[in-house]
Amino acid sequence: MQTNLNNESDLTAEQYQRKMQRRKEVQQERVAKASLEKGLIIVNTGNGKGKTTAALGMVLRSLGHGYKVAIVQFIKGAWEPAEKAVFSLWQDQLVFYAMGEGFTWETQDRERDIEKAQAAWQTALTFIANPDYKLVLLDEVNVALKLGYLQVNDILAGLEQKPADTHVILTGRGAPAELIEQADLVTEMTLIKHPFREQGVKAQPGIEF
């Protein structure tokens, strides 16, 4: 009989126990080796869903730990009512700022878009430099970079001002290579299947906003 060691279902109780014991040891070794605490530069990019929502999940965890958090939203003009309703529960711990003026394809005025993005970035910088904030989320900032509203060198210089234990999350498709190079944790969200395109399902509350 051929034994498939990758499938736990086929293992005897003893084999299972040995495998899980080994897994536990590997896990303990990894935890023992990883001893450094460090504020991370985190990038969520790719053309799939989950870049912003994963960042919001981290915001949620940080709030649960009692940390102060700042969120600056680039590109989108305003917070969705549901997000606003949730954020408002943590007025003592959370500040949030939106660039204003709706999606860029609504305005069609490049100069104004650049001004708004630059103003949002200046606001973001004050949070990044402020040690009271443990987590700063720059939502959709990669798109602002891609559209040329912001310059990657300015972002990298700004990130160097962050206190050692502050985490900064940068989201949006098309993260530039220079940013990925400087980041500690980079995840690419890849679209495998999307109902919006494939089934004509519309953006729905709770899913897209």
**Residue 157 interacts with its own copies (CB under 8 A)?**
no
Contact mark string toward its own copies, 166..195, x via CB under 8 A? -x------------x--xxxxxxxxxxxxx
Cα 113–Cα 186–Cα 67 angle in degrees, nearest 5: 80
Order of strands across the sheet that contains 41-45: 41-45, 167-171, 133-139, 68-73, 94-98
Determine contact, residues 127/133, Cβ cutoff 8 Å.
yes
Helix, strand or coil, per DSSP, at residue 129: helix
The minimum distance between CB 207 and its own copies, in angstroms, equals 6
Given 3, 47, 126, 190, which residue is catalytic?
47
Which residues are bridge partners to 44 per DSSP?
Answer: 171, 187
The minimum distance between CB 57 and its own copies, in angstroms, equals 3
Which of 148, 157, 161, 178: binder of its own copies (CB under 8 A)? 148
Does 52 participate in catalysis according to the annotation? yes
Closest of 165, 170, 167, 150 to residue 72, by C-alpha? 170
Residue 120: exposure state from Cβ atoms within 10 A (0-12, 13-18, ≥19)? buried
The minimum distance between CB 28 and its own copies, in angstroms, equals 9
Which of 3, 29, 65, 78: binder of its own copies (CB under 8 A)? 65
Which of 5, 33, 153, 164: binder of its own copies (CB under 8 A)? 33
Cα 180 from Cα 38, distance rounded (Å): 17
Which of 2, 4, 9, 91: binder of its own copies (CB under 8 A)? 9
**Residue 104 interacts with its own copies (CB under 8 A)?**
yes
Cα 191 from Cα 49, distance rounded (Å): 7
- Quick one: which segment of 31-39, 92-100, 120-128, 154-162 binds its own copies (CB under 8 A)? 31-39
The minimum distance between CB 151 and its own copies, in angstroms, equals 9
Given 3, 53, 126, 190, which residue is catalytic?
53
